[in-house]
Amino acid sequence: MNISNKVAVVSGGASGLGLATSQRLLAEGAKVLVLDLNEDAGQTLAAEYPDKVLFIRTDVTDAQAVEQAIGAAVEQWQRLDICVNCAGIVAAGKVLGRDGALPLTQFSNAIDINLNGTFNVLRVAASHMASGAAGDDSEESEKGVIINTASVAAFDGQSGQAAYSASKAAIAGMTLPIARDLAPHNIRVMTIAPGLFDTPMMKSLPEKVRAPLIEMVQSPKRFGLPEEFADLCCHIIGNPYLNGEVIRLDAAIRMEPK
């Protein structure tokens, strides 16, 4: 799929990996609906691209809010071609900690935001993609591309990451069945499982915390750049034979137990 003149929705698109993806899609000529809870960051991005960004403060776990936000973008731009899900939280807590068993609400919150929120956005996006006109720039006449964000924690989660790993493993696990579900509609589905990326959260960590993390990275021995995540998103969008797969973007890191 050619990104130019397409319409994308990026959840979590005002910060971190989502912001880098939004900016790259804009640079490639797309219009972008940004769903995020960060009002200031979202409005700043919309002000920078007044004709190409529609920011709507949205809780991705709210079915009605997501339906209204994506519906507003489709009404404004008359199409939806790309969906990139970056919204999520980092959850930490051992099953048995100093204060006893991990509260079920803490586990459920990670599942709700990371997994249910991802599915909520993609299901609404897929519905609009399927009902829209097929693209005119591809032999396959693609109607849409959906990219979800998992994590290397889906495969080698550390101690204290039960909730986070479960939510990300589920995103990886649903990739193929959703790709199969949407294949008759000419919509592709892919998942990226990032390793350690230099997002604002990671930048805020003290060096004594950052250094041991970098030691687990093989080559190149550094944190990933958000722009490298955005690069892979664009490659997935442009390569029509990528479908139903999870790609680890992690410089060959394998997380240690703790």
Catalytic positions, please? 164
Span between the terminal Cα atoms of the chain, in Å: 41
216: which 2 tokens? Answer: 């687990």
Q: How far apart are CA 3 and CA 68, in angstroms?
A: 24
Confirm if 121 and 87 have CB atoms less than 8 A apart.
yes
Q: Which of 31, 75, 79 is nearest to 55 (CA)?
A: 31
Using only the alpha carbons of the chain, give its radius of gyration: 18
- Give the number of other CB atoms < 10 A from CB of residue 84: 33
Confirm if 236 and 147 have CB atoms less than 8 A apart.
yes
- DSSP H stretches of helix in the chain: 16-27, 39-48, 63-77, 104-110, 117-131, 153-156, 162-173, 175-182, 200-203, 207-216, 226-238
Return all residues near 90 (Cβ < 8 A) that are at least 6 apart. Answer: 164, 201
Return all residues near 205 (Cβ < 8 A) that are at least 6 apart. Answer: none
- Give the number of other CB atoms < 10 A from CB of residue 245: 15
